[in-house]
Amino acid sequence: MTDGPLALLTEPAPIAAPALLGATLTGKGVTLRITEVEAYFGPTDPGSHGHRGPTERNRHLFGAPGTLYAYRSYGIHTCVNVVSAPEGTSSGSLLRGAQVVDGVEVARERRGASVADDALARGPGNLGGAIGAVLGQDDGTSLLDGSGPYVLTLAPGLEARLASDGPARVIEELLSETTPGPGGTGTVARIARGPRTGVGGIAGGARYPWRFWLSGDPTVSTYRRHKGALD
């Protein structure tokens, strides 16, 4: 079995995505701790950019596991995805929220002097801005081998668990873990899941509960249901 992030990223995004929570992404003077992700799986997912096959715009989504796929949102923001599954599959996890754990001032220079720490990388466009992602320059680079501007490192202890138990069992365990609820009363799932933000039609709603986030983390973005989502 392959050690490290690659052992995880050989899996399709709906399986791999939850294990990216707590991972760090480091580069261009900033380190982010990932707190929210969304999975997209082109072969069966109408919400994926790759559902209808490769184009010049989305070709990096079909890249090798650990490739960075970037795209422009609303013509302004650069959004960052971690590609997974075998090359040619079209499978990626959109990084939606993160805590800036190093390089806060660098991130603030990019995002604005008045932006609160918790909001620096809250939301996919803000995350891409905080880490300085550049469309046409960073997309297609590796997140694993140090050849690109960013390096992805899994949460502490996760690599050993993957090597010992394998991705499927580890993901199952992660999704079953609990944490104290609000006010210390009861428990809630440590990793919450639900419909993807802003995805409508048959790709929205309960059929694709592929948004995952760390419960109660202040850097997680606000869920916005698409008006055309089918629950």
Please compute the mean of the pLDDT values over residues 148-162 and round it to a whole number. Answer: 95
The pLDDT value given to residue 229: 47
Instruction: Say how many C-beta atoms besides its own lie within 10 A of residue 1's C-beta.
Output: 11
Q: Does the structure show a pLDDT above 70 at 151? A: yes
List, for residues 22-63, the tens digit of each pLDDT value.
999 999 999 999 999 999 999 999 889 999 899 999 999 999
List, for residues 76-99, the tens digit of each pLDDT value.
899 999 999 999 999 999 999 999
Q: Do the domain assignments include residue 75?
A: yes
Please compute the mean of the pLDDT values over residues 172-198 and round it to a whole number. Answer: 90
- Our count of domains for the chain comes to 1
Instruction: Say how many C-beta atoms besides its own lie within 10 A of residue 191's C-beta.
Output: 22
Structural domain span for residue 68: 5-156
Pairing of strands 77-83, 211-214: unpaired
Whole-number Å distance between alpha carbons of 130 and 47: 25
- CATH, residue 93: 3.10.300.10
Pairing of strands 24-27, 30-41: antiparallel
The pLDDT value given to residue 2: 45
Please compute the mean of the pLDDT values over residues 176-202 and round it to a whole number. Answer: 88
